[in-house]
Amino acid sequence: MKDAVESSVERLLGEIREEVRATSAYTGRTELAERVMAAMRKVPRHAFVPDDWQSGAYCNSPLPIGHAQTISQPYIVALMTDLIQPKADDVVLEVGTGSGYQAAVLASLVRQVYSLEIIEALATAARERLQRLGYANVEVAAGNGCFGWPEHAPYDAVLVTAAAAQIPQALIEQLKPGGSLVMPVGERYSGQTLRLLRKDEQGRLAQGCTLPVVFVPLTGTAQCSSV
C-alpha cells in the first residue's frame, strides 16, 4: 500500500511539473520552488479526500468534499502556494478551508496558518482532521472570510480558495506591506482568472498572473466591500 501511494504521489508531481510548464505563458513560471514541491510530496492528499473518492486522491483534478464544495486540483494548490512565495517565518491567512488540504500544504512551509471556512460543518471537520494529522500550526474558525481575521492581522500572505467578482477590501487591508494575495476573480463558475496582488512597502498594489480557472464561488460577499 505504501509503495502504491508513493508511486501515485510521484506520478502526480510529474503531472504538476508538466502543467506548470504548459501554463508558463500565463503564470511566468516554468517550475515551482523545490520546497513547495516537497510540501506537495509530504502532505497525504488521501487523508483529505472523502472515502467514496479515494481512488482519485492522487489524480490531478478537483474532487467533491460535500456541501457543494471541492478539494482543489493539486496543480492549482501548488501554484497558488508558490505564487505567495512562502517563507518559514510567515503568517498566512487562508479563506476557504474546505477539507484542510491547502492549509496543510501551507503549514508545511510557514510558521502559522489562520484559515476561515463559512460552512461550519466543513470548518469543524477540517479542524479535527488537521489536529489528528499533527498540523499544530493551523487554526481553523467558522466565519465569513470576506471580512478576514483582523485579530491576527497583518498577514505576510493571503490565499483565497473561492472566486468572487472582486477582491474583498478587508483582505487587502489585512495584508502586510511587502505581502502577496492570490485569489480567483470572476463571475460564478465562468470567466475567472487567478490573480496575484502584491502590496509594496508604501502600500501600493500591483497585479499579475491571469491564469484562467474555475473555482466554487466565495459566499458572503454581499455583506462586505470589495475593490
Active site residues: 72
Nearest Cα to Cα of residue 90 among 162, 128, 127, 36: 36
Residue 128: enclosing H or E segment and its boundaries? helix 120-132
* All cell numbers assigned to 195: 490573480
Residue in this structure with the C-alpha cell 466565519, named with its chain if needed = 143
- The DSSP code for 196 is E
158 bridge partner residues: 93, 181
DSSP 44: -
d(CA 226, CA 147): 10
Q: Give residues with Cβ within 8 angstroms of 66, minimum separation 6.
A: 50, 121, 122
d(CA 215, CA 115): 18
Cα angle, residue 133 at apex, residues 130 and 139 outer, rounded to 5°: 25
